[in-house]
A and B are shown apart, each in its own frame.
Chain A
Amino acid sequence: MTVPRGPQPFPGQEKRLRLLAFVRQDSIVRVDKRVEDTAMVWPHLLVIEFIAAMVWALGLFVVAALFNAPLMDRANVDRTPNPSKAPWYFLNLQELLLHMNAALAGVIVPTAWIVFMMTIPYIDRSREGVGVWFTSQKGKTVAVFSAVYSTVLTVGLVAADFFLKKAGYAEWATAHLPGGKLIIPDVVIPVLVMLILPVVLVVLLKRLYQANTREWMIGVWTGFLATYVVLTFIGTSMRGPGMDLFAPWALPPTHD
């Protein structure tokens, strides 16, 4: 029997090598970083998780003790509350519904947005800025610009719709436009607005800030967030009976 070179194992404890795992470069704990850059999960991460869970559990207890979940009268299909509203996180879509065709507002726009959201990482494929809030100072500037742009335009569009309706635009459209109110005001104009305004935003960001893909993506995403928040707020606090527009502090109560 040939004796292998090197230190000899104790009898019964001969070491053999096995392939335990195949680990891709990306998955390994940071070969290019030193040990000091890492922390043990036990206790450092687990302590944070435990405290966070306890604080939230306590907070939830307090909220649940102080505020009761709403419960109205028994469901009655013959009594329609005015206004009837969806849960708050869908009120942005219900707000869109007031301004355009129902299929567009309720189905096509949200579906298109979700699909777009899923394609974001396949459009913005650089690894630049991973793990850094807003990637760069320019990213922050872009986000602020886009937030202001989108808020102003969304509020402006809702206001424009309000005043146009007051001026009798719907009746005029029904009488004078081909297809009446159903085609140009309910489909064509909203689609154009929803396509053109984001494109204008991207072009502006490229012109003003020489935005790269990551930066204009921050712009588009921030635009979505701002629009979502503004529409949710309007839908929740500014739509009263008949889904008419009211000031948030003068919102009449719901009635049947």
Chain B
Amino acid sequence: MLEVPAQVWQKVKTNYIWRSLFRHGYPDSRKNQSLAVFTNVFLHLHPVKVRRHALAIPYTWCMGGLSFFLFLVLTLTGTLLMFYYHPVSAAVPGADDAYQDIKDLETVVIFGQFLRNMHRWAAHGMVITVFLHMIRVFYTGSYKPPREFNWVVGTLLFVVTLVLSYTGYLLPWDQLAIWAVTVGMNMVGATPFVGDEVRFLFLGGFEVGGNALLRFYVLHCVALPVIAGFLMAIHFWRIRKDGGISGPL
């Protein structure tokens, strides 16, 4: 009975196309499990073996990985949201602008509300997971040598996460958005010596208006994700180079 599917499976596995995709057999032996990890572009950031305690949820809380997972969710939902969104503020109420796009997302676009909800809650979630990851890393002493620099990179990633979330806060262009950003920008404006200039740089004007919306949009959708991507590449790479996940000496 089972011979036919087994033969088909065998055919598939020895097929020329299949073998061009996968350079190894089914990962049920040590050798193939190793090959599965380091011949796969998505898995090769992992080592082939990890120390056992690295698998323990009470040790890692999974929070670094989940932060990255949420970043991927945000990239995906964010890209979909970009199809429906114009970073435009209308002078006339009721005209087509960013706020109307959000309204349309909620009422016209199929699953639009769901998409926006996913993006919003994942964004809050990522601030929390990054924070928890930082807490875990601190209390387990994982910043200690040789991982000093990766802690610095992680701190920068924490800041980038907050700024990403903050720039996204303005985009719905509702009362919550513009006044939260006004409060934040007034804080920035209090920077000694260059406060007004920095504030103007962010807003493209003296108050939160159309230019600010465009600048926050570009920062949120292009500049900051690219920066975060670079820092994450360094962060993940350094985990490997600094001896893998921390653990008792």
Looking across the interface, which residue of chain A has its beta carbon closest to that of B117? A64
Closest Cβ–Cβ distance, residue A133 to chain B (whole Å): 6
Determine if B75 is an interface residue (Cβ-Cβ < 8 Å). no
Residues of chain B within 8 A (CB-CB) of A125 are 144-145, 148
Q: Which of B12-20, B167-175, B219-227 contacts A (4 or more CB under 8 A)?
A: B167-175
Decide if A72 touches B146 in the complex (CB within 8 Å): no
Give the number of residues in B that approach A within 8 Å (Cβ atoms): 93
Q: Which of A79-87, A144-152, A196-204 contacts B (4 or more CB under 8 A)?
A: A79-87
Residues of chain A within 8 A (CB-CB) of B59 are 131, 133
Closest Cβ–Cβ distance, residue A90 to chain B (whole Å): 6
Decide if B49 touches A29 in the complex (CB within 8 Å): yes
Interface string of B73-91 (1 = CB under 8 A from A): 1000000000000000100
Closest Cβ–Cβ distance, residue B55 to chain A (whole Å): 6
Q: How many A residues are at the interface, by size bracket?
A: 35 or more
Determine if A57 is an interface residue (Cβ-Cβ < 8 Å). yes
Instruction: Report the bound CA distance from A73 to B146 in whole Å.
Output: 51
Closest Cβ–Cβ distance, residue B139 to chain A (whole Å): 6
Decide if B148 touches A121 in the complex (CB within 8 Å): yes
A59-85 interface with B by 8 A CB criterion: 60-61, 63-65, 67-77, 79-81, 84-85
Decide if A48 touches B55 in the complex (CB within 8 Å): yes
Interface string of A32-55 (1 = CB under 8 A from B): 010001111111111011001100
Determine if A129 is an interface residue (Cβ-Cβ < 8 Å). yes
Looking across the interface, which residue of chain A has its beta carbon closest to that of B89? A75
Determine if A2 is an interface residue (Cβ-Cβ < 8 Å). no
- Majority secondary structure, B binding face: helix
Residues of chain A within 8 A (CB-CB) of B152 are 118, 121
Looking across the interface, which residue of chain A has its beta carbon closest to that of B28? A43
Residues of chain B within 8 A (CB-CB) of A103 are 190-192, 195
Decide if A84 touches B50 in the complex (CB within 8 Å): no
Looking across the interface, which residue of chain B has its beta carbon closest to that of A224? B138
- Seen from chain B, the residues whose Cβ lies within 8 Å of a Cβ on chain A are 27, 30, 33-34, 36-37, 43, 46-55, 57, 59, 62, 65-66, 69-70, 73, 89, 93, 99, 102-103, 106, 113-114, 116-122, 125, 127, 135, 138-148, 151-152, 155, 159, 162, 165-166, 169, 172-180, 182-184, 186-188, 190-192, 195, 207-209, 240-244, 246-249
5 sampled A-B residue pairs with Cβ under 8 A: A39-B52, A65-B114, A107-B187, A131-B53, A132-B141
List 12 extra interface pairs beyond A73-B174, A85-B183, A125-B148, CB under 8 A: A39-B52, A42-B33, A52-B62, A64-B118, A74-B99, A75-B174, A85-B180, A107-B188, A117-B155, A124-B143, A129-B144, A214-B141
The 5 closest A-B pairs by CB, nearest first: A106-B187, A102-B190, A121-B148, A69-B120, A64-B117
